[in-house]
Amino acid sequence: MKIRNAWVIKCIALLGACLGRLYGSTICVRLRCLGDDVDPRRKDLPVRCIYAFWHETVFTPAASFGSRRMACLISRHADGEIMARICLHAGFRVIRGSSTRGGVEAVRRMLRSRHLTHFAVLPDGPRGPRRQLEPGIVFLASRTGMPIVLAGIGYDRPWRLPTWDRFAVPRPWSRAVILLGAPMHVPADIGRDALEDYRRRAEAMLNDLTTRAERLAERRGIGYSGNGAREPHSTSFDLATP
């Protein structure tokens, strides 16, 4: 059932944001950067990035990274209105648009603000298919010159909702892991074949990072090899921590 009443949407969004912060304060999260330190909470991060994670894992970043230095791309579908208002209450900026509705205007707004804010994108949303990356994020990176940072997010035995993305709800007082991959730079004005190549690479990398994060959250390790790379940056924090 779609909710159309504006007052009801506002109330649900405010309640959802408050409950999400309260519920999120029970989750212990560990963040690792597998490469350069691109933690979006860093105020001194010298570049602006496009952070991408699967739709099903949005709970943790929504609860932990609220900042006016981060803008979320939310679809213009009716279902996206509640999510957009929750993100605003959580402290994010919001840009409305998707590949099917308002995409051109969304890209224009992103181009205007690319030097001021990071972007958070759900590359398989708003309707899936699950864990299949749409080419829009690669096109956006090419147009803006911003690197893509893929974020694999895993939980310890989460509850799964019966939705198209099998939305993950972490259990109270459980573990969550965020693995940030090395920034992926996309050349400007790439052709269709190159765009598809980057899309396939990004999809494979994000699925790999997500699998690793899930294994680490369940304390099964991620198989990180030393092969000359420096040790990944790692921090622990509560979702309630600003």
Q: What is the pLDDT of residue 3?
A: 64
Mean pLDDT of the chain: 82
Q: Report the predicted TM-score, pTM, of the whole model to 2 decimal places.
A: 0.83
DSSP letters for 189-236:
T--HHHHHHHHHHHHHHHHHHHHHHHHHHTTS------TTPPPPEEEE
Q: How many CB atoms lie within 10 A of CB 198?
A: 22
Q: How far apart are CA 112 and CA 131, in angstroms?
A: 29
Count CA atoms closer than 13 A to 65's CA, side-chain side: 25
pLDDT at 187 over 80: yes
Percent of the chain with pLDDT over 90: 44
What's the rounded mean pLDDT across residues 133-161?
A: 94
pLDDT at 2 over 50: yes
Q: Is 40 in contact with 67 (CB distance < 8 Å)?
A: yes
pLDDT at 238 over 80: no
Q: What is the pLDDT of residues 102-145, one digit of tens each?
A: 456 667 777 777 777 899 999 997 788 999 999 989 998 998 89
pLDDT at 148 over 70: yes
Q: What are phi and psi of 152, to 5 degrees?
A: -85, 130
Q: What is the pLDDT of residue 104?
A: 67
What's the rounded mean pLDDT across residues 198-202?
A: 97
**Backbone dihedral region of 157: left (phi > 0), alpha (psi from -120 to 50 degrees) or beta?**
left
Read off the pLDDT band of 240 (50, 70, 90): very low
Q: What is the pLDDT of residue 241?
A: 35
Q: What is the pLDDT of residue 168?
A: 95
Highest mean pLDDT among 35-39, 85-89, 146-150, 218-222: 146-150
Nearest to 213 by CA among 169, 158, 152: 152
pLDDT at 182 over 90: yes
Q: How far apart are CA 135 and CA 131, in angstroms?
A: 13
